[in-house]
A and B are shown apart, each in its own frame.
Chain A
């Protein structure tokens, strides 16, 4: 990066800077004309100078300029006008000049602003571009929050400075110089003294300011570290809590803030000291004028008129000078900021730009072997990860990389994926060094997945297709107005040195995945998703999303039909105890008392049990059926049992998770409530206590809570109340409830709930899984499987994919790598979060599918379980960074002692 900010700005904006200088120079003409005009108006038409006779006329528009040094001049002899006409004409000119000045100012300011914003855009883009090109090992030393704060905040003043970088010093320097020349012309000695003092001022003040700038730099660094620490606390909050180190963090933050405070305070002291000295210098000059100039006038060596003229001229000198010094201060300030940013971003060796060049066409297949010769890898501390490994990887091979964790297999895989760069030795394909190959080949023809998946914030689909978005595809459907808009965007982007392609165009390379469109792609990807056992998860997500029957008519139309098939299937398989259907005439034992009473879902969000119970409509129903007494009795018993159970349990205890109807901190309140109400007649119980005790009963589900208090008569009473409630229902509450209707789809419920139309029996082991399996089967039979799957792919995975489990993230990451149909596929313990059994099943499935495929990719797989290596063509066995075995599994298991030891094979095996 260019180290000097001024040079950097000049290089990228010299033409614009020259233009703005020119415009500023041009703007000076009307500016000075407007200065002179009021005098002319007052002296001329108003006071009557030159209009002494009533009908005297004066030439108008005789433009004269009155600048120092150069004598008065004349542009135009003008038209003759009388006194009133001249007043009006001059005033009109004044108005015109004001307008012109305003427009000039407007143009100059917006131009400078745009120049600055463009520069800011350029710098920010360049910084992020460099981040994209940092060598991989550099990221181990980076804190993302610090980089973010540099790109976002620290370069901000650089943009503001750009507009003034050359214009301001030219303008102010010109003004100061003109004044100085004028003084010298008036009196050489006084002029020299002034120049001398200005010289001292210009040389001392910046020197003093160096300390200020140094402090400014420190302030920037400490603030950056501070933001890094804050983000570290946020990211590692779990570790802080589990180690009781919150006070250590507090101390650290307080210490850092203290440092920032003392730096900033020091900064203020220096700043105002500099100001004081500066003002002093500015006032010393007039002192010299008065004292010595006056003395020379007294002894007759100096003309009084000259002294007055010099003093008057000097009035105009300090302000541009001060501005000039301020500009210099700003320059040094941003220069230092810029230099620290440069330090942070000048990383060597940067990945060459050509490696990441945009390549639109399909990448050619890698058909030659990967030759690894004397590959040595070291970690940050210099310890060897891999020591002089040489081998060849032929196309169409499947290779298992085996070894204990940290013994070299992972590092070998990472080196092939270019995530670690070789210390010695090389990796080459077809005679070309792997590191020199463009990413448009390696990124598309080599796939890599490790156990630490990176997911973007977006939908599952976005993440799955991430590896296919290498270059924007031509968009045939673009409209003309869009084209114009795009073109305008591209021009502006190029002016700021940004790339001009748009991110929201179609980027997906369907061809690479062997498909001709999105639906086809999904269809083609399905077997992979099945192999990875993630299609079920995605399908599940689809089932658990609410559907808009208008947007998904294909699914919406058939939900009712599927309800019937599910019921029939369960009865056929004698599994009908797993799902208790919703029936308006029967109590559903698997649903809570409240759900049974309501027999529907709230159409807009949910409503708490307490809110429901206090609604007048429910109050009426409960009262008229006598249910209020029964439910109160039930709630009372629940409260009593709960308090008995949890009285002595600490509020953080894991048992409290089970207690869904009462929070730990509510227990004392209920305790007080019970002792208040015990023995009171129902009518005398305070309304509030009654409501909160009845609300407890509404959350009760017999098979889960098992207090044994839900009796048959009570259930019948509840069903009767439900019927009464729904016949007498008022319109305003009816609107809020979607009643369970066997013939209708409930919009506010999930797709699954709509199909189940019942409650899964919680006590039947694996009922969830069984029913989901049957539902999946039904959707498949109905030809709707892929529709639901694509519904599930719309699921938002959250920041960093945190809404998915680690296992799901790993599977998705693997699926993403497989989507590209690359020539070399490298997996680095990609499924470490899975059970060993599932990991093995998936590994076998993928290798099998690869073996059956037409264009088979070379697979290199770092295995968690070495026994799975049997299904691979070849095994590379690593131990302590060395390649200790290279051959088929059975060869190694027979003849390689180290490998046998590693597998813990008994000596008489085979």
Chain B
């Protein structure tokens, strides 16, 4: 039901600043989808058409590389995934796969962009999330590139 979804959306950091009436409208404009365990929300390399807010259940974020698939993160309730492709039209950078029965709100690209346009706070929240993620990635990259410490 819309009212439950609004409750969940309010707990998501990037939407916390949006007034409840708008969140209800957003929820109405979205699809509420259910996934079985093992089902993909989206796959790496595909063109992104939506972002997802997880309402219940858990999922793995998987990046496939030459050396095989690597689980880079685990996400659960209130997490937002797929927003990068929704924002800037790049192919999906990872696969997100449900690890339990999962429910999610699917926010299509244009809705997501409209929202960031209307609510600057949403945009800055998203920026904060992305920057946090980037700095984490950078640290990991530096660690990976550093020559192994001499014994």
Contact = CB atoms under 8 A, between A and B. Distances in A.
Interface residues of A, number: 22
A654 B114 contact: yes
B2 interface: yes
A703 B28 CA distance: 11
B86 interface: no
B25 A706 contact: no
A158 to B, nearest CB: 53
B135 to A, nearest CB: 24
Interface string A723-764: 000000000000000000000000000000000000000111
A40 interface: no
A708 B1 CA distance: 6
A836 B34 CA distance: 27
Interface residues of B, number: 28
Interface string A703-730: 1111110000000000000000000000
B13 interface: no
Interface in B1-53: 1-3, 5, 21, 24-29, 31-35, 39, 41, 43-47
Contact of B25 (A649, A705, A766, A837): A649
B1 A764 contact: no
A235 interface: no
A836 B45 contact: yes
A550 interface: no
B77 interface: no
A646 interface: yes
A703 B32 CA distance: 8
Nearest to B110: A654
B34 A645 contact: no
A854 interface: no
Interface in A827-875: 835-837
Contacts of B41: 765
A378 to B, nearest CB: 34
Contacts of B1: 706-708
A654 B111 contact: yes
Contacts of A762: 31
Contact of A837 (B2, B26, B28, B46): B46
A644 B2 CA distance: 13
Contacts of B110: 654
Given A654-B111, A835-B91, A706 B28 contact: yes
Contacts of B46: 835, 837
Contacts of A272: none
A669 interface: no
Contact of A764 (B24, B34, B108): B34
Nearest to B108: A654
Given A645-B24, A645-B25, A646-B25, A655 B33 contact: no
A504 interface: no
A653 interface: yes
Nearest to B113: A654
Nearest to B45: A837
A498 to B, nearest CB: 48
A765 B28 contact: no
A658 B91 contact: no
B2 A706 contact: yes
Given A646-B25, A765-B41, A706 B5 contact: yes
Contacts of B43: 837
Contacts of B33: 763-765
B114 A653 contact: yes
A763 B30 CA distance: 11
A686 to B, nearest CB: 29
Contacts of A765: 33-35, 39, 41
B47 to A, nearest CB: 6
A763 B25 contact: no
Task: Name which of A644, A703, A706, A765 has the most chain B CB atoms within 10 A of its CB.
Answer: A765
Contacts of A706: 1-2, 5, 27-28, 32
A656 to B, nearest CB: 9
B32 A763 contact: yes
Contact of B28 (A654, A655, A836): A655
Task: Name which of B2, B5, B25, B33 has the most chain A CB atoms within 10 A of its CB.
Answer: B25
Nearest to B3: A708
Contacts of A646: 25
A655 B29 contact: yes
Interface in A245-262: none
Task: Name which of A646, A705, A706, A835 has the most chain B CB atoms within 10 A of its CB.
Answer: A706
Nearest to A762: B31
Given A706-B5, A764-B33, A765-B34, A644 B21 contact: yes
B38 to A, nearest CB: 12
Interface string A638-673: 000000111001000111001000000000000000
A655 B111 contact: yes
Nearest to A836: B45
Given A707-B1, A707-B2, A837-B43, 17 more contacts: A644-B21, A645-B25, A654-B108, A654-B110, A654-B114, A655-B25, A655-B111, A655-B114, A704-B31, A705-B28, A706-B1, A708-B1, A762-B31, A763-B32, A765-B41, A835-B45, A836-B45
Interface of B: 1-3, 5, 21, 24-29, 31-35, 39, 41, 43-47, 91, 108, 110-111, 114
Interface of A: 644-646, 649, 653-655, 658, 703-708, 762-766, 835-837
The 7 closest A-B pairs by CB, nearest first: A708-B1, A837-B45, A655-B29, A765-B33, A654-B110, A658-B29, A765-B35
17 contacts: A646-B25, A653-B114, A654-B29, A654-B110, A654-B114, A655-B29, A655-B111, A658-B28, A703-B32, A706-B27, A708-B2, A762-B31, A763-B33, A763-B34, A766-B39, A835-B47, A837-B45
